[in-house]
Amino acid sequence: DAGVTQSPTHLIKTRGQQVTLRCSPKSGHDTVSWYQQALGQGPQFIFQYYEEEERQRGNFPDRFSGHQFPNYSSELNVNALLLGDSALYLCASSLAGTSSGFTDTQYFGPGTRLTVL
Amino acid sequence: GQSLEQPSEVTAVEGAIVQINCTYQTSGFYGLSWYQQHDGGAPTFLSYNALDGLEETGRFSSFLSRSDSYGYLLLQELQMKDSASYFCAVCGNYGQNFVFGPGTRLSVLP
């Protein structure tokens, strides 16, 4: 049973560029959440997708957007990259259904390390 | 808003018991979770407490006191492989948000 997978593993971009990160949830899971983790800090919640819609959103600007596909996989898009966007981006999946998606066990992927120069 | 506090570092020896505390401030509290993260790895779920009391899972136990906005993770019979960062995380705002604490780096010495 495949766990959560993310691609790419590493990415280098320059300021002002746009980036798309991808996530495939654990088999059978219907909810995907995205987090940003700066070095030495805890993950920060970006947003959560369920039934192809953004269900919850953390305190991140509109430059951060996402999408969920019918197969439950998800993308995170970041426009107009800033140096401060350099971080590990984590995807977590859960089987939430109509619950919040946070009270169930979240399974995290290995992350995508984004470096903005 | 929501905020969590936990010690930044804890050091213990193999075989010992260590307790990592977490205090939180939030509205619409749903529950407190604990995650383990090894260097370069992904966070791994350890436990979730929605009600007051102690939850035990093998060598790890987690406690919650909703009235005190406080919880802790207890690790027993420490092993070298337990060296990692441990994060508490609160589900608040009536299930609308999920906030991680700053993390506690545990070092287990031989």
Residue pLDDT, tens place only, B45-68: 999 999 999 999 899 999 999 999
User: How many residue contacts between A and B have a Cβ separation below 8 Å?
Assistant: 57
- What pLDDT, on a 0 to 100 scale, did the predictor assign at position A98? 58
Counting as low any pLDDT under 50, the low residues of chain B are: none
- What pLDDT, on a 0 to 100 scale, did the predictor assign at position A1? 64
Contact B50 A103 (CB under 8 A): yes
- What pLDDT, on a 0 to 100 scale, did the predictor assign at position B11? 97
Counting as low any pLDDT under 70, the low residues of chain A are: 1, 97-100
- A60 CB within 8 Å of a chain B CB: no
Distance in angstroms (rounded) separating the CA atoms of residues B59 and B79: 10
